Amino acid sequence: MSETAAYSTRFLRTIDPDAVEERAPVVDTLKALVTSSEVTPDKLRNWLSEGKSADSVFTRMHLAKTKDMLLKRPQFRSWVQYADDLSKASKKEMLVISTLTAQYGDDALYKLIESAKLDPKIKTLANRLEREQMQYWVAVRKSPDDVFRIYKLDEAKQTVLSTPKFVNWVKHVDDLNAKHPEQPVTTIPTLKKYFNIDDEGLLSLISVGKQSERTKSIASKVEDDLLQIWGNSKKTPDAVLDEMRIDKMNIPLLENSLFTTWAKYVSIFNAKYPNEKRTMIEILTRKFGDQYITHILYKAKSIDTTKTMATQLESAQLTMWRSNDKSVDDVFDLLWLRRRDHDFCSRNSPPILNACVSYLNVIATESPTMLPILLSNLKTTFDDRLLLQFLEAAKPFRSLERAVVKLETEKIRAIFERREQPKEAFRLLGLDGKGNTILSNPLFKEWMDYVKIFNRENPNKQESWFYPLRIHYGWYGVKKIIKTAMNNPNTVKIGKQVEIAMLKQWLEANHNPSEKETMIDILSSKYFDVNLLAIINAAKKDQITKMLATELEDALVMKWVAKNENPAQLLEKLRGIENADELVKRYTDLARSKRM
């Protein structure tokens, strides 16, 4: 093989190791063009030995005139190989991209490369040039502003984070910092400049980006840059929280992505300025107040995504109060616990009650000898109802349990011993706040026994144990209580007792005979016949409701007649009812006579 042929073949072999599929088709074309041109392989070899510049050879090969077709010209590959060989010989880096930049400029060259990437035949070469252009921009320290403009990212606006070139641009910023650490740059000034936004606008952009898995990572990178700038300018976490205006948004505090950003910045600030360290709970309390934060944390603990953070902040809140030497009474005042209209059964009370009991536990754990004094103070702070509610909430705390149960027992006994009216005792014991499970609560059974004792001792002041249930829970609430009781084997018996009492109340409240049939329709819509008959049979045993129950029984039989029920199916449905055979026989007799 001649020396010229060997040089030409080496060009084809070393231009682009990744472009295997491009080599063979180019061989014949390249040979033809080189041998038919004045720029022969021998000339290239001589120029290389003479150290002729890549710019000069580019011009002599007439490549400058090819413009947009440059990368498609076979001669271009020969020139690229020449420039590579010259780089090795002269130890000058990036001759290819620096020459092309000098010939076309950054913008035009970038467009040329982007266009070439769409052509499968020259895509590999175009990708190489893209990488080298990015490296060249870093080497010459091209500003983030310039690259941002070249990539036309300013036209993307709110979708910029999802633009593929945005990732390249962020990498350029990172590479600049790695190559030139003495002159650090960030993404933030450029974004503010081209989008004409402030920190609030950036936070909005970041927040939207973090909501998508596709852009979450790059959004976090921009967020880190913003936090770094804040840290370098010594911007306080308090000021950042104010600027975020989280309290103006319709998103729960801890669920807001901006809160996560702020929490991250608090850590950055504290690490950077340890002598000015401040805790999240202190800042939040200054901003929102103890009571509001207590409510927020209590609710956030019930949500999986915020439970951990809320628990940590709740613990930090107790630590903050303790480090500030707050007494239990002080915390009661901070949380407005002693307001006259306070009732721990109300919807807004559990967070406050939980915080106060937790703090009482902190004090009692540190100083066990203080517990008797603390509990004694509670007796003067709260009336019987609130005290019992407070003690009930304190029972789960191991350090409080024994003393709390003892005081609770004493207080309940005192209510019964002073012979409070049953309905008042019901309220004082907090039974109106036990919910659907009240019938399984031992205190309810104890109260029912008290009603019997009270009625026996006061024959002229008889009170119904069912009345407070109906008054405090309503008819609908009582039905839910019964349903809950019926699903628990341990409370089925008392559930039936309440169900019968409810029916008696209905019957006593509806004595107008003209309303009987309407009433059976209502009752039938609420109960299966077998359950309704059980209630009716029980009501027939009471002299007060016997007559009305009998009339309702008759109305039920007439309802079967109207519906033309199947006797066999009726017997099956009424299995367990003692007078089922008698009722079905009455039904069949009536149905037969009606047909006659």
> Tell me: the pLDDT tens digits for 212-267?
999 999 999 999 999 999 999 999 999 999 999 888 888 899 999 899 999 999 99
The band of 342, judged by pLDDT with boundaries at 50, 70 and 90, is: low
Of 116, 140, 164, which marks where a domain is finished? 140
* Other CB atoms within 10 Å distance of the CB of residue 346: 12
Query: Cβ(110)–Cβ(150) under 8 Å?
Result: yes
Q: In the structure, what pLDDT confidence band is assigned to residue 595 with cuts at 50, 70 and 90?
A: low
The percent of residues in the chain predicted with pLDDT above 70, rounded, is 90
pLDDT of residue 94: 83
- For residue 70, give its domain range: 1-140
Q: What does the pLDDT read at residue 143? A: 96
Q: Residue 396 above 90 pLDDT?
A: yes
User: Is the pLDDT confidence value at 416 over 80?
Assistant: yes
Contact 442, 404 (CB under 8 A): no
Is there a contact between 293 and 284 (Cβ–Cβ < 8 Å)?
yes
Q: Which pLDDT score is estimated for 508?
A: 65
- pTM of structure: 0.69
User: Which pLDDT belongs to residue 594?
Assistant: 62
- Check whether 296 has a pLDDT greater than 90: yes
Most confident among 74-83, 382-391, 544-553, 562-571 (mean pLDDT): 382-391
Q: What is the C-alpha radius of gyration for the chain, rounded to an integer number of angstroms?
A: 43
Instruction: Tell me, yes or no, whether 7 lies in a domain.
Output: yes
- Evaluate whether residue 394 is within a structural domain: no
Does any domain span residue 266?
Answer: no
Residue-wise pLDDT tens digits, 435-480: 999 999 999 999 999 999 999 999 999 999 999 998 898 888 898 9
| b/e code 228-266 from CB counts within 10 Å (16+ = b) | bbbeeeebbbbebbebbebeeeeeebbebbbbbbbeebb
Residue bearing tokens 């190489």: 128
Residue 572 has pLDDT above 80, yes or no: yes
Max avg pLDDT among 328-332, 542-546, 550-554, 585-589: 328-332
**Residue 514 belongs to a domain:** yes
Residue 205 inside a domain? The answer is: no
| Domain limit, last residue, from 86, 119, 140 | 140
Least reliable range by pLDDT among 276-280, 324-328, 480-484, 571-575: 571-575
Name the DSSP letter for residue 212. Answer: S
The string of DSSP codes covering 102-152 is: HHH-HHHHHHHHHHHTT-TTTHHHHHHHHHHHHHHHHHTT--HHHHHHHTT
pLDDT of 77 > 60? The answer is: yes
- Answer with the residue of higher pLDDT: 525 or 491: 491
Distance CA 370, CA 378 (A): 13
pLDDT of residue 3 exceeding 80, the answer is: no
Mark out the alpha helices in 384-440 (DSSP H runs): 384-394, 398-417, 422-428
Q: Which of 92, 120, 140 is the last residue of a domain?
A: 140
Give the chain's domain count: 2
- Give the residue-averaged pLDDT of 58-68: 82
Is residue 390 assigned to a domain? no
What is the structure's pLDDT at 562? 83
Residue 6: the pLDDT is 40
Give the closest residue to 549 by CA, choosing from 589, 519, 528: 519
* 39 pLDDT tier (thresholds 50, 70, 90): confident
pLDDT computed for residue 549 by the predictor: 81
For residue 88, being part of any structural domain is answered with yes
- Dist CA 414 CA 24 (whole Å): 103
What contacts 202, CB < 8 A, 6 or more positions away? 188, 191, 192, 222, 226
CA distances from 20 to 15, 31, 122, 124, 516 (A): 10, 18, 11, 10, 96
pLDDT band at 589 (very low <50, low <70, confident <90, very high): confident
Residue 488 has pLDDT above 90, yes or no: yes
Question: Where is pLDDT greater, at 123 or 43?
Answer: 123
> CA 532 to CA 555: how far, in whole Å?
12
Question: Which pLDDT score, from 0 to 100, does residue 341 have?
Answer: 54
Whether the predicted pLDDT of 539 surpasses 60: yes
In angstroms, the CA 16 to CA 22 distance is 9
Residue 147 has a pLDDT of: 97
Which pLDDT score, from 0 to 100, does residue 30 have? 42
More confident residue, 175 or 548: 175
Across all residues in the chain, what is the average pLDDT? Answer: 86
Has residue 327 been placed in a domain? no
Task: Answer whether residue 340 shows pLDDT above 70.
Answer: no
Does the pLDDT value for residue 192 go beyond 80?
yes
